[in-house]
Amino acid sequence: MSNITIYHNPACGTSRNTLELIHNSGNEPTIIYYLDTPPSHDELLKLIADMGISVRALLRKNVEPYEQLGLADGDFTDEQLIEFMLQHPILINRPIVVTPLGTRLCRPSEIVLDILPEPQKGAFVKEDGEKVIDEAGKRIK
């Protein structure tokens, strides 16, 4: 059993890059396809608290329900925003990664490097061609 969990959306390039960076460290994470199996209310609250971000900071803005529900207006309580995310998991920004070193919203994907217990094992290039890790396993930026 892995000690790393990723809340993953395979249709998202940032999520795919983050998963590959985890693999590049020699880890096979537990993958939660959160659109199919969203976190519970309590799990979502814990993830937000562990990331140290606001509920609104986890909202994904460029998806259809955001506009339809009028979420750009600041008139919603945190509890209402949580309920919207549970009803429409696409509103949960991703990927969220949990490791023994912390929990992070990995946007950009390189943020995962700050919480991976093992170093990168080799070169890594993002899907868009951006080089992130050199052949020696060191971060380029």
| pLDDT tens, residue by residue, 30-82 | 999 999 999 999 999 999 999 999 999 999 999 999 999 999 987 999 999 99
In a domain, 125, yes or no: yes
Q: What is the pLDDT of residue 73?
A: 84
Read off φ and ψ for residue 3, nearest 5 degrees.
Answer: -100, 15
* pLDDT at residue 1 greater than cutoff 70: no
What percentage of the chain carries pLDDT values higher than 70? 99
Q: Which of 92, 102, 99, 93 is nearest to 14 (CA)?
A: 93
**Count of domains for the chain:** 1
Look at residue 139 and tell me if it is in a domain.
no
* Gap between the Cα atoms of 83 and 140, Å rounded: 40
106 is catalytic: no
pLDDT at 74: 77
CATH code of the domain containing 98: 3.40.30.10
- pLDDT at position 5: 98
Identify the band that residue 100 occupies on the pLDDT scale cut at 50, 70 and 90.
very high
Domain of residue 92: give its range.
5-133
Q: Name residue 25's beta-bridge partners.
A: none
From first CA to last CA, the distance across the chain in angstroms is 32
Q: pLDDT digit string (tens) for 19-30? A: 999 999 999 999
Are 81 and 71 spatial neighbours (Cβ–Cβ below 8 Å)? yes
Residue 108 lies in a domain: yes
What pLDDT shows up at residue 37? 95
Q: How confident is the prediction for the chain on average, in pLDDT?
A: 95
- In the set 6, 8, 9, 12, the catalytic residue is 12
What's the confidence (pLDDT) of residue 129? 96
For residues 62 and 44, what is the distance between their CA atoms, to the nearest angstrom? 20
Is 67 inside any structural domain? yes
> Does a structural domain hold residue 138?
no
Q: Residue type at 32? A: I
Q: What is the pLDDT of residue 138?
A: 94
Instruction: Please list, residue by residue across 65-74, b when 16 or more beta carbons sit within 10 angstroms of its beta carbon and e when fewer do.
Output: bbeebebeee
In a domain, 10, yes or no: yes
Residue 123 binned pLDDT confidence (cut-offs 50, 70, 90): very high
- CA–CA dist 61, 72 (Å, integer): 8
**Domain annotation covers residue 140:** no
Does residue 141 lie within any of the structural domains?
no
